[in-house]
Amino acid sequence: MESRLRQSMHNHVAIIIFFSLFIIIFPLLSFSQPDCSATSTGFTPINDLGTGTFTNAWGETWTGGLYPGGSNDLPAAHKAAGLQLATEIAPRDSSGNPDKINGKIVWLSIGMSNATQESRQFIPLANAYENKNPNLVFVDGAQGAMVASVISSPWNTNYATFWSTVNARLNDAGVTARQVQVIWFKEADPGPMYPSVHHYYDSMVVSFKRIMNEIKARFPNTKLCYMASRLSARYATTRLNPEPYSYYTGWAVKKVFEDQINGNARLAYKGIHAKSPWLCWGIYMWSDGSTPQKTNPDISWDCPVDFNNDGIHPSIAGAQKVGRLLLEFYKNDSVSCPWFFNKPPEFCTR
């Protein structure tokens, strides 16, 4: 039985490696354009559901809302905890010691190809923002092909490569792992590598928790992690991460929040035994293609302008849209007040 289990694990790793290479190569292939004729997925954005429900592919009924109880707002206790941790974020020297004069606060992105495309559009916008905290340093640690099952699995051949590259990028930016205090996280897996969308969802939840543990262990001064969902994959022309996998990724993120809020030990974020950063949305970006969210009408994904030819990766215009959305989020997020601004706006003091 052990030999069968070992062989199964080897087969799974081989599939992950194949799809990881596929993620790099596939966008380079020639397609005329994304499938703009694709009809509605029939899914409702999680935030638009509110207290309404969604029946998943295996018959369970889930309540909508970005957070528990069908709400799109942070639960009061969880928000208070996040605000407290945000006030603990301060400029640090290369060894992680407080240094108000020369210290840095590092914002670091972690994720796959979409995340690096979007980070590279966000970072120049954030650096140009006139009210940005001058101690803030933005570093893109996300990398193409480095999907959730790769960067969460020490036995994967690309696991070490991902994390060593993150450290190299920090070094290139003149900062260290101990100065990292805020994470932006966006991940997924090649959906069709799993036997069902149920397996995909379960794997995402497990991988996301493992990655939060990796982040806290590697960047011990990290306080906050803002997690994002995938964009729409309605117009996909590849089996890389089409619908419904893109939609279910958002539900997996929501599940991780719920587990942390409900006291899951693997996601403990308080005290010397913390195993994870404090988690919240930053931001929920899924819509049914070009149909805007009702909750946030600024979020919609137009075909073909917002997509590369595969209908999976954002175009430059699509990545720029994400960059603008993320900047607006931080400019209006109360938990960002203590660390993001040079001079906190009036809403921060209410």
The pLDDT of residue 9 is above 80: no
Confidence tier at 20 by pLDDT (50, 70, 90): very low
The pLDDT of residue 25 is above 60: no
- The residue-averaged pLDDT of 106-130 equals 98
Q: How far apart are CA 327 and CA 325, in angstroms?
A: 6
| Side-by-side strand order, sheet with 278-281 | 136-140, 105-111, 180-186, 224-227, 278-281
Q: How far apart are CA 324 and CA 63, in angstroms?
A: 29
Question: Structure pTM?
Answer: 0.91
Torsion of Cα atoms, 121 then 145 then 66 then 137, to 10°: -40
Confidence tier at 32 by pLDDT (50, 70, 90): low
- For residue 178, the model assigns a pLDDT of 98
The pLDDT of residue 17 is above 50: no
Q: How far apart are CA 35 and CA 237, in angstroms?
A: 6
Confidence tier at 29 by pLDDT (50, 70, 90): very low
- Specify burial of residue 54 (Cβ count, 10 A radius: 0-12, 13-18, 19+): middle
Q: How far apart are CA 182 and CA 107, in angstroms?
A: 5
As a residue count, the chain comes to: 350
The pLDDT of residue 198 is above 70: yes
Contact (CB, 8 A) for 190 and 147: yes
299-346: pLDDT as tens digits:
999 999 999 999 999 999 999 999 999 999 999 999 999 999 999 999
The pLDDT of residue 18 is above 70: no
Q: How far apart are CA 196 and CA 327, in angstroms?
A: 35
Q: Please give the DSSP secondary-structure letter assigned to residue 186.
A: E
249-273: pLDDT as tens digits:
999 999 999 999 999 999 999 988 9
Largest CA distance in the chain: 63
The phi, psi pair for 61, rounded to 5°, reads -105, 120
E-only strand ranges, 97-212: 105-111, 136-140, 180-186
135-173: pLDDT as tens digits:
999 999 999 999 999 999 999 999 999 999 999 999 999
